[in-house]
Amino acid sequence: MQNFNFGQFTADSSPLRHVDPRVKILTVVVLSILIFQATIGEIVMISLFVGLVIWISRVSLQEIWGALKPIAVFAVLLFLLHLFFTEGRDISPIPLLPVRITYEGLENGFLVVWQFAALVTAGALLTMTTPPSTLVAALEKLLRPLKILRVPTQDLAVMVSMALRFVPTFSEEYNRMKTARIARGGDLKRKGLFRKLKAAISIVVPLILSAFRRADDLAAAMEARGYARGPRTTLSELRLTRIDFAALAVMVSFAGLTMMIRFIDF
Amino acid sequence: MITFKDVSYQYGEKTPPVLESIDLQIPDGQYVAMIGPNGCGKTTLIKHLNALLIPSRGEVLINGMNTRETSCHRDIRCEVGMVFQNPDHQIVGMSVEEDVAFGLENLAVPSQEISPLVRNALSRVGMEGFEKRAPFSLSGGEKRLASIAGVLIMNPRYLALDEPTAYLDPAGRRRILRMIRQLHRDGMGIIHVTHDIGEVADADRIIVMERGAIIMDGTPAEVCSFLMSRDNPGLEAPAMAALMAKLKESGWDLPTNIISVEDAYKEIHYCMSQLAREKGFTKSPEIPSPSG
């Protein structure tokens, strides 16, 4: 939890910081579609593109790992599920292993874990290189057409901003509670699933209660500063520049190229 | 003018009232302090000032605007700025400038006008250059100043502060109190909730609350006399007043309605110089009287 950095703006000096957040959000959306439809052949291409973006962003691999780490266990579980439960051609039986492993299972497991990791990396790159205020302003602008359908787009944007604001708060609160437990002789690294679960509940329940209290206080503080339904502006004003058009062109070309390769494959 | 007319408030229908029949008027530019034990209703009372709470009975008028009128809430919140007890619980932005700008964003001030106003609000509280800092990385005193800047940017006529010096070290406390005095000198009305009467010796008026009611409303000297009297329901008397009372018991001719260290020093110094003169010590320095 201490190194949990997903959703936090950390790369202030990154060149990507100056790219309009709307372009970055659109890129993540397009990339997500490509990632979900990717075949094994396209993985290399998309991975290279994501790698190139990481290099340009100057976000360190350590920071990317910081964002991936919390989902590592989940990714391993997904991989094993696909590996063991996919029908297909048997890989030559491994002695002492009670289940069958198939080539298709291995391929699917790898694909799903890659998709998962690529999505999280793209999302982390977006939030790490974008100050939350501009991210919220961009979301609000992108969602604006939904106003016709009476979707409260401004409220949605503020909700996202509040969710991001709570990440360091929760992290801090969790560490405080953990320290308080340890100081009173609590052992949070107990062995055994049941004991581990019990130790986790002893922290999670007060954490959730504290979150509700904090949310209540924050709502009052927001109201006190005039937050209400109605027109709002944002500190950061968004304007597309040449860099943004260039980034858009790169994104469109890349998406086009990927689609073309798929078409040729067929 | 802030007016409370027979205001009562209870959090639930079956719970006892937290405020009972409060009648109160606070003119523009006045520095009002509120003291009282925990749970006496101070925080509940100031939450009525910017319509965060609506009275169960009676009404609260802010410059003629009734807090019951939902359409007036935005204007009321511009008139009365509210600084909560714990600055961590009111941080909205991920950077100091985003946090300070929040109020203006809500008022739909054009984006290009917000940044200069943020810089101005931060310079008013002595926090120039903190714009890009993360609020969570600031010290307790800095967080508090940033939260005050977030309220000042809306240019309120009154500033309500709920225990603004809680959780602060002595240096942080002095900094906040200095700033409150400065804002009052600039003409802003201050409503300052505190447990420590010593920090509001400069207030124009002190209101003492107990069990949801106002039991004393007067100048600091009057409230101090009340706290030193037998009518005091158990609130702690100012340390300086207690010292003066002890000296008076020992035969010194000193007033006991003293709150601040400065006033106590002046009184004791004056008394000692009088004594020196009476005893014929010719080298006694010329000491001005407390009034002069």
Q: Residue holding tokens 């904090």?
A: A214
Asked if the structure places residue B45 within a domain, the reply is: yes
Asked if the structure places residue B233 within a domain, the reply is: no
Q: Residues 203..232 of A with a Cβ closer than 8 Å to B: which?
A: 214, 217-218, 220-228, 230-232
Asked if the structure places residue B144 within a domain, the reply is: yes
Which residues in chain B touch residue A171, judged by CB atoms under 8 angstroms apart?
none
Residue range(s) defining the domain that contains residue B270:
239-278
Question: Does residue B236 sit in helix, strand or coil?
Answer: coil
- A135 Cβ under 8 Å from any chain B Cβ: no
Q: What token pair was written down for B164? A: 């603004």
Which residues in chain A touch residue B155, judged by CB atoms under 8 angstroms apart?
none
Asked if B49 contacts B34 with a C-beta cutoff of 8 angstroms, the reply is no
Question: In what order do the strands lie in the sheet containing B2-9?
Answer: B19-26, B2-9, B57-62, B65-66
Number of compact structural domains in chain B: 2
What is the C-alpha separation between A55 and A49, in angstroms, rounded?
A: 10
Q: Residue holding tokens 């702690």?
A: B236
Does the structure show a pLDDT above 80 at A13? no
B137 & B274 share domain: no
Confidence of residue A2 (pLDDT cuts 50, 70, 90): very low
Helices A132-143 and A153-183: crossing angle in degrees, nearest 10, is: 140
Asked if the structure places residue B292 within a domain, the reply is: no
CB contact under 8 A, B98 and A224: no
Report which listed range, A1-15, A83-97, A179-193, B23-37, is most confident. Answer: B23-37
Of B88, B114, B154, the CB nearest to A225: B154
What is the C-alpha separation between B216 and B209, in angstroms, rounded?
A: 7
pLDDT tens by residue, A39-66? 877 888 899 999 999 998 888 888 888 8
B73 & B192 share domain: yes
What is the C-alpha separation between B231 and B218, in angstroms, rounded?
A: 15
Residue B182: what pLDDT? 92
Asked if the structure places residue B290 within a domain, the reply is: no
Residue B292: what pLDDT? 47
Chain B contacts to A (CB-CB under 8 A): 47, 50, 52, 73-74, 77-78, 81-82, 84, 86, 88-95, 97-98, 101-112, 114-115, 118, 132, 134, 136, 150-151, 154
B48 & B190 share domain: yes
B158 & B106 share domain: yes
Asked if the structure places residue B199 within a domain, the reply is: yes
Size of interface A-B (CB pairs under 8 A): 96
CATH of the domain at B34: 3.40.50.300
Q: What token pair was written down for A109? A: 């497991």
CB contact under 8 A, A132 and B94: yes
Q: Name the helix (H) or strand (E) containing B53.
A: none
- Nearest Cα neighbor of A126 from A46, A207, A25, A235 is A25
Residue A90 β-bridge partners: A102
Asked if A50 contacts A118 with a C-beta cutoff of 8 angstroms, the reply is yes
Does the structure show a pLDDT above 50 at A252? yes
B127 & B271 share domain: no
Which residues in chain B touch residue A160, judged by CB atoms under 8 angstroms apart?
none
Q: Residue holding tokens 């910017």?
A: B50
pLDDT tens by residue, B117-127? 999 999 999 89
pLDDT tens by residue, A61-85? 888 888 888 888 888 998 988 888 8
Q: Residues 12..41 of A with a Cβ closer than 8 Å to B: which?
A: 12
What is the C-alpha separation between A240 and A20, in angstroms, rounded?
A: 6
B52 & B125 share domain: yes
B79 & B199 share domain: yes
B63 & B172 share domain: yes
Question: Does residue B263 sit in helix, strand or coil?
Answer: helix
Rounded to a whole number, what is the distance in Å from the CA of A52 to chain B's nearest CA? 28
Asked if the structure places residue B34 within a domain, the reply is: yes
- Mean pLDDT of all residues belonging to chain A: 83
Residue B120 β-bridge partners: none
CA angle (B96, B44, B222) in 5-degree steps = 100
B195 & B68 share domain: yes
B29 & B89 share domain: yes
What is the C-alpha separation between A160 and A140, in angstroms, rounded?
A: 10
Taking the alpha carbons at both ends of chain A, their separation in whole angstroms is 45
pLDDT tens by residue, A152-178? 888 888 888 888 778 777 888 888 888
**Amino acid code (one letter) for B143:** K
Asked if the structure places residue B96 within a domain, the reply is: yes
B219 & B244 share domain: no
Query: In this predicted complex, what is the ipTM?
Result: 0.81
CB contact under 8 A, B102 and A164: no
Which phi and psi (to 5°) does residue A173 adopt? Answer: -65, -45
Rounded to a whole number, what is the distance in Å from the CA of B185 to chain A's nearest CA? 24
What is the C-alpha separation between B151 and A228, in angstroms, rounded?
A: 16
CB contact under 8 A, A226 and B78: yes
What is the C-alpha separation between A4 and A6, in angstroms, rounded?
A: 6
Asked if B220 contacts B201 with a C-beta cutoff of 8 angstroms, the reply is yes
What is the bridge-based pairing of β-strands B2-9 and B57-62? antiparallel
Rounded to a whole number, what is the distance in Å from the CA of B212 to chain A's nearest CA? 21
B289 to B29, B263, B271: CA distances (angstroms): 30, 11, 9
Does the structure show a pLDDT above 70 at A189? no
Residue B19 β-bridge partners: B9
Residue B287: what pLDDT? 56
CA angle (A212, A218, A221) in 5-degree steps = 150
Which residues in chain B touch residue A237, judged by CB atoms under 8 angstroms apart?
111-112
What is the C-alpha separation between B181 and B188, in angstroms, rounded?
A: 10
B159 to A131, B17, B120: CA distances (angstroms): 30, 26, 17
- Per DSSP, the residues of chain A read -TT--TT----TT-GGGGS-HHHHHHHHHHHHHHHHH--HHHHHHHHHHHHHHHHHHT--HHHHHHHHGGGHHHHHHHHHHHHHH--SSBPPPPTT--S--BHHHHHHHHHHHHHHHHHHHHHHHHHHTS-HHHHHHHHHHHHGGGGGGT--HHHHHHHHHHHHHHHHHHHHHHHHHHHHHHHTT--SS-SSHHHHHHHHHHHHHHHHHHHHHHHHHHHHHHHHTT--SS----SSPP---HHHHHHHHHHHHHHHHHHHHHHHH-
Rounded to a whole number, what is the distance in Å from the CA of A111 to chain B's nearest CA? 36
pLDDT along chain B (292 residues), means of 10: 94 89 94 92 93 94 94 92 88 88 91 92 91 86 92 94 89 90 94 90 92 92 85 78 85 82 86 81 58 50
pTM to 2 decimals? Answer: 0.76
A138 to A24, A26, A123, A244, B26: CA distances (angstroms): 9, 10, 15, 13, 43
B180 & B201 share domain: yes
What is the C-alpha separation between B221 and B198, in angstroms, rounded?
A: 12
Residue A174: what pLDDT? 85
CA A2 to chain centre: 17
Residue B252: what pLDDT? 83
Which residues in chain B touch residue A169, judged by CB atoms under 8 angstroms apart?
88, 136
